[in-house]
Structure 1
């Protein structure tokens, strides 16, 4: 893939190696098998005519060559597996999810991480997914339906920077939930079949996989060959947009932390590799929130990633990790 000069300049200014974008043909794609579906592994391999390679550092994950298609396979249609990059799986793993947890995914679309969280929760705990875009949340709804996970998750079309879920009102029997504090009546989407049967709890764990320029995703950048590099200029390289994104990322992180219970965990991630959207946001957040503390990610000692520019933060990239680019930071709340 031949990168335009403006994008190479952008990478160089941000201290990023343009050679990571030459790894498009060698970076595998990843799938996650739903728990219990390893029994069908040989059948899946026979159908897609490809040997799946187990990802040793991430349970239930497998890699396959990037050209192999899974969408027409019986296993995919039946909801036995779904596509999710291993780096994204690592961000979910960093939450240390256990059955019974109460989890908020503040930027839930398109839904693969939401599915993984639901799988890890099992039949207990609660899960709430939020996204500002109605059509993107509809993609979450479709995924949850397909993988038979929808009865354990509430979905809300809402602004993640202001979302604040009130305790359940008097409609518990009809399974209707409302967020009257931050969502207008005309924008509220309530999906009856995805409402939890359990009452609202303070969030013990929050995932903020924030909107970003997506420059760490090789596959995303590759799309601009078809979309046109002028679109890249507008969506990725525009200085005003990047400034607005930095504000948005800090607001999302701040609100997610506000909704977090004392002693709980929050994971902040982006698929950008720039310092401005990662370490700079973390640094500013810590300056503004004295009750926040960065944590080591215990599982990361087995992960193929690098340390970020702030101690305890992590970075995945195609050359180091054989994954999409991703930044991950984990926080806890010390007091109210």
Structure 2
């Protein structure tokens, strides 16, 4: 049944769902006025006039987020030379804020536990500069392959490795590398017959056959990570398979885990207006199944909790983790955070530096933030930042 009093093309069940989460249904009518956002690759600032001429619109600088610009919602960038040459890419400003909250600096070893489709991964690699590493993990091989395409397109792959695996059980620590070199601190420097050589998409036939056999045997559950890309300074080259796939203990991770971890968890995507409005074509029954079904959302919140818990386990003491979802529901955000904090005495929520200038609201848990289309002129996003205390 459709609601007849709100003039919104939303089913009554969804409106009730929004009201239960303290959300105004009118936010889903703002698609036409909500801008699109792009990130300009650092060093391309002198080309803004040229990009504006090609796109036939102004690039409006986002004052609260470096290198971000807003453009009118109807502008498409995919066919532009600026996009094709890797000078700009689309990423919502709220997602950019989640990455910015991590405070990635050169030399960091960063983990993106739900990396696909790759825009946030590219931003982290940009911030990393010429040292450290970024490890991208995703359970969907085809989606992680899109990440691989992005990092190669934007020439950001030197310090990156991508692994197809389940983020709730991933247990590989970062490969520590010397700044500007391709040799790993943890791998011996003598030549090894089974060491990883420079990455190439043209893998030997036997290696491709072994990988295909592994994928077929594991089906939906990936027991061992599948390395589908690594850069020359990612710390992989020179390592043996046993060294690279060594399962790290909790004690090892406490001292040599990741400096920064992003857990942008799978969610119902109800914070994205454009995503929700797709259900007008897909059918509102599909929305009720994907967003409102209690059994599915219970499974989803358990997945989010497990991703957050494992991401935090992989973080070294003193490191920072950002948990985010593009859902506006309490169950997928504040409730997950509360459940996680209740069982982790070494976890502490942090204030997000510079967030006092961000156009967002406070979350239902102190020190958490909520972006929404009305307040922020972005997609909806929940952000929480943790640090790992030494115990």
Which bin holds the TM-score, normalised by the shorter protein? over 0.9
- Asked if structure 2 preserves the Cα contact closer than 8 Å seen for 1:206 and 1:267, the reply is yes
What's the counterpart of residue 140 of structure 1? 147
What residue number does 2:269 align with? 214
Q: What does 1:44-63 align with in structure 2 at a 5 Å threshold?
A: 44-63=51-70
SS at match of 1:90: helix
Instruction: Verify the 8 A CA contact 1:163 1:183 in the aligned structure 2.
Output: no
1:100 equivalent to 2:101? Answer: no
> 2:234 — aligned with what?
196
Task: For residue 274 of structure 1, report the CA deviation from its aligned partner.
Answer: 0.5
Q: Distance in 1 between matches of 2:324 and 2:65?
A: 17
Residues 1:236 and 2:291 aligned together: yes
Contact 2:351 2:385 in 1 (8 A): yes
Measure the CA separation in 1 of the matches of 2:309 and 2:53.
Answer: 47
More displaced 10-residue stretch of structure 1: 275-284 or 150-159: 150-159
Q: RMSD of the TM alignment (CA)? A: 1.9
Q: How does 1:25-64 map to 2 (within 5 A)?
A: 25-64=32-71
What residue in structure 2 maps to residue 332 of structure 1?
387
Equivalents in 1 of 2:346, 2:142: separation in Å? Answer: 36
- Confirm whether residue 184 of structure 1 aligns to residue 184 of structure 2: no
Contact 1:175–1:195, Cα closer than 8 Å, also in 2: no
**CA distance in structure 2 between the partners assigned to 1:225 and 1:172 by the alignment:** 52
Offset of 1:159 from its aligned partner? 0.5
* Distance (whole Å) between structure 1 residues aligned to residue 227 and residue 328 of structure 2: 33
Deviation at 1:184, TM superposition (A): 3.3
Specify the alignment match of 2:322 in structure 1: 267
User: Displacement of 1:27 after TM fit?
Assistant: 0.8
CA distance in 1, matches of 2:385, 2:159: 25
* Larger-Rg structure: 2
Match of 2:132 among 96, 109, 125: 125
Offset at residue 4 of structure 1 (A): 1.5
String of CA shifts for 1:224-251, please: whole Å, max 9, x gaps. Answer: 1121111111111111110001100000
Q: Secondary structure at the match of 2:106?
A: coil
- Count of residue correspondences: 331
Secondary structure of 2:102's match?
coil
Question: In 2, are the aligned partners of 1:155 and 1:194 still within 8 Å (CA)?
Answer: no
Q: Summarize deviations over 1:25-57 as a string: whole Å, max 9, x none.
A: 111000000010111100000001000100000
SS for the counterpart of 1:174 is: coil
Alignment partner for residue 161 of structure 1, among 165, 168, 171? 168
2:116–2:144 CA contact under 8 A, matched in 1: yes
**Residue 173 (structure 1) shift:** 5.1
Between the aligned partners of 1:268 and 1:197, the Cα distance in structure 2 is: 26
Q: Please say which of residues 281-290 and 190-199 is displaced more in the overlay.
A: 190-199
- Write out per-residue CA displacement over residues 51-73 of structure 1, whole angstroms, 9 at most, x where no aligned residue: 01000000000001100111111
On the 8 A contact 2:157/2:230 being kept in 1, the answer is no
- What TM-score results when the alignment is normalised by the length of structure 2? 0.81
- In structure 1, the residue matched to 2:218 is none
